[in-house]
Every structure is written in structure tokens, then in C-alpha cells.
Amino acid sequence: MKVLVINPGATSTKIAVFDEDKQVFKKGIDHSAQELDRFDRVIDQADYRQKAILDAVAESGYQLSDFDAICGRGGLYRPIPSGTYAVSDAVMRDVEQAPYGEHPSNLGAYLARRIGDMVGIPAFFVDPVCVDEMTEVAHYTGFAPFRRLCQFHALNQKSIGRKAAGLLGKKYEEANLVVCHLGGGVSVAAHEQGRVVDVFNVKDEGSMGLDRGGALPVNALINYCFSGKTKDEVKKTLGRQSGMYSYLGTTDFRVICAKVVEGDEKFTEAYRALVYQLAKDIGAMAAVLHFEVDAIVYTGGMAYERFFCDDITKYVGKIAPVLRLPGEEEMRSLAEGALRVLHGEQDLILHAGALPAAARPSARADRAARWLQSGYR
């Protein structure tokens, strides 16, 4: 089984080809700011990015008909459970109308469907950031009109959760884990027997990240919002220029760690604050699991810095064993999600509406058999 994977980012589109679990081709397609500035909305980039993807596939020597499925990164859609989804008409509308927000990742599933429709092969997306498996009580805040959002690094969190459980000799559905995604954004989640039952949302709660503020004092935030700033200015500052950047003027964690090693007092103090906040988040998620935790797992780019993980562990190491699984494998995670469906190991989920034409059994008998195994006709 061959799967084409599409992962649109802010300034690039990554594609890869997987032959079963082996990655046999990958390419990063860069998009200059000048090129993207021509488009007012993310959806307006669809034709431009689709052409770039088709050109790259052609240059690789593959034809679209070589693939058994296309899997795109999911974006900001309506809240859904974890799983592998068919790209339905409802998803296409969500991307076009963007009622849940604009983000380049919105185009992953959208382009997978459009390209799949060209040759009649199924299009999927896997564990988008809008995955919501939180308990109802976890959605409560301290003010009735407000509801906690569940937006986090679901794709990598789920993939790493499965990997960690395997290292522990357990199925993911049997393990209790606290998984910490430590990248440009930070998310700390409680995984209870295969479900993320609570998570600190990377956008507005929990620890600060490299450029995001996390939880902020309410009164100070109110005063800041009414200090003459526009809504867009506040959103830009808190979403891109807060966190460690606001203290140190950089989001490069390698630079931050180097300064800490050199003994720079300013960098060291901010670094210690980050460690402290993350440790508190881990403790909170352990409490969600009644402190019945099989492992605490560090992942993401910052987890490459062993001493950083060790410093967090000094606070939380008595809770559970620690696993360090640095980096993230989004492309592989997408391919694995598609392959689980193609091999009948996992049911395909319809997001909403009718199954799209490209996702119905094709004329190929072998491919049709796989689809029938998933229970959709």
C-alpha cells in the first residue's frame, strides 16, 4: 500500500510517499512571503499549493494512480474525537468558510480530497488539532459563558502515546500517560486508556511556550487589552510575541540553552520559570489520572535537550517513570493513520455528511475490499 502525505505549513508544503511503513520519498516545497502575500485568505492558496504538489509528485517519478490513498494534515475544524477521517463535503465547507479559524494546516485535508478526486482514490485526515476527547467536567471554567477549548498537538501526542505504550509493553488503550509536547507551542495532556481526557490548550492556558503566553493573570490581561491596543494587536502579541520571546527576545531554544550553559543570569531565570511551569502542568495532569500514571513522556523539538528534560524530571520524577522521545513525526503519523484504515485495523470515521465520491470503493477490487472492511459503502 502506498500513501501520499500532504502537510501544509506557514511557509512550506511538505509531501512524502510511504510504501507501507517505509518512507520512500519526501520533499519540502518552500513558499516565499511574496508569493503568499498575494492571497487574502488561506483557502485562496489552494490552487497555488495544489499545482506545487502535483509538480513535485510528477518530478518524483510517481503518478497519482500509484497511490492507494492520500492523507492530509487536519486543521481547525469542528471538535471531533481522535481517529482517521474521510474528507467529507462538510470538511470541505469548513475549510472554505473557516468558521473555526484560518491556518495553513486547514488545506491538508482539502487538497488531499481535491487531488484524490482527480483519480478516484480516497482522501483522509488524521487527529487534527481540534480533536476533543475531554470529559465534560474538564470543559468547565470559572465563568459559565466560557468553555475550555481543546486545541493541541493531537497528531504527535497520539502517535507518541502509542509509541510510549508499546515501549512499556502495553497497548495504548491500556496505558495512562502524561505526554508533554515541547515545541514552538507546548501542550501537556492526560492520556487515559487511549483517550486524551484533559489537556492544557496551547493557545490560552498552561505553561508559556517559546512565543505564546499560556495562562496569564486576568486583571493584568484586562488592563493590557484596554490600554489602547486593538484586538489584532493583542492577538498578535499574545500569539507570537509572548512566552520566552517576551523575556529574552528569541524563540530559538538552542540559543536559550546555550546561554543557560554559559551562566547568563537573565536567560537562566526565564529558563527556570519555563521548567517550573511545565512541572506544574505535569503535576496537574497526573492528578487528573488520580496519580495512576504509567509514564511521563517528553516529545517535540525541545526534548532533544536532555538537560532540559532532566530539570523538569527533578520536580516530577517521583510521579512516574520518564520517557524522552524527542522530535515529532507528523508525516509518518499521517501515513500510519491511513494505513491502519487501509489494512482494516481501524475503522474509518465519517466527519459529517455523505461519504465523498473519492472515498467510496473504487473499481479496483483490492482497494474495494479494503474499504468494505472499514464498514463504509
All structural domains of the chain: 2-131+330-373 (3.30.420.40), 154-326 (3.30.420.40)
Q: pLDDT averaged over the chain?
A: 89
**Phi/psi of residue 243, each to 5°?**
60, -145
pLDDT of residue 198: 97
Spell out the residues 6+ positions from residue 233 whose beta carbon is closer than 8 angstroms to its own.
none
Q: Which amino acid is at 346?
A: Q
pLDDT of residue 369: 36
Taking alpha carbons only, the member of 307, 340, 304, 294 closest to residue 161 is: 294
Please give the helix or strand (H or E) that residue 140 lies within, else none.
Answer: none
Q: What average pLDDT does range 281-309 have in this prediction?
A: 97
pLDDT of residue 201: 80
pLDDT of residue 359: 35
Q: Looking at the DSSP assignment, which residues form a beta bridge with residue 86? A: 124, 350
Q: Contact at 8 Å (CB) between 341 and 374?
A: yes
Rounded to 10 deg, the angle between the 89-97 and 106-119 helix axes is 130
pLDDT of residue 351: 53
Predicted confidence band at 33 (pLDDT cuts at 50, 70, 90)?
A: confident
Q: How far apart are CA 349 and CA 90, in angstroms?
A: 13
Residue 361 has pLDDT above 60, yes or no: no
Q: Contact at 8 Å (CB) between 85 and 355?
A: no
CA trace torsion 180, 186, 192, 197 (10° rounding): 170
Alpha helices for the chain (secondary structure H): 33-36, 46-60, 89-97, 106-119, 154-167, 218-225, 231-240, 243-248, 253-262, 265-288, 306-316, 330-342, 365-373
Place of cell 489552494: 46
Render the burial of 155-180: b for 16+ CB within 10 Å, e for the rest. bbbbbbbbbbbeebebebeebbbbbb
CA distances to 8, 12, 69, 70 from 28, rounded to whole Å, are: 10, 7, 20, 17
Residue 188 has pLDDT above 70, yes or no: yes
pLDDT of residue 40: 87
pLDDT tens, position by position, 34-48: 888 899 899 999 999
pLDDT of residue 357: 34
pLDDT tens, position by position, 74-124: 988 888 888 999 999 989 998 999 888 888 889 999 999 999 999 999 999
pLDDT tens, position by position, 304-353: 999 999 999 999 999 999 999 998 888 999 999 999 999 999 888 875 43
Q: What average pLDDT does range 234-255 have in this prediction?
A: 91
Q: Contact at 8 Å (CB) between 143 and 152?
A: no
pLDDT tens, position by position, 121-168: 999 999 998 899 999 999 999 999 999 988 888 999 999 999 999 999
Q: Cα–Cα–Cα angle for 361, 367, 373, nearest 5°?
A: 75
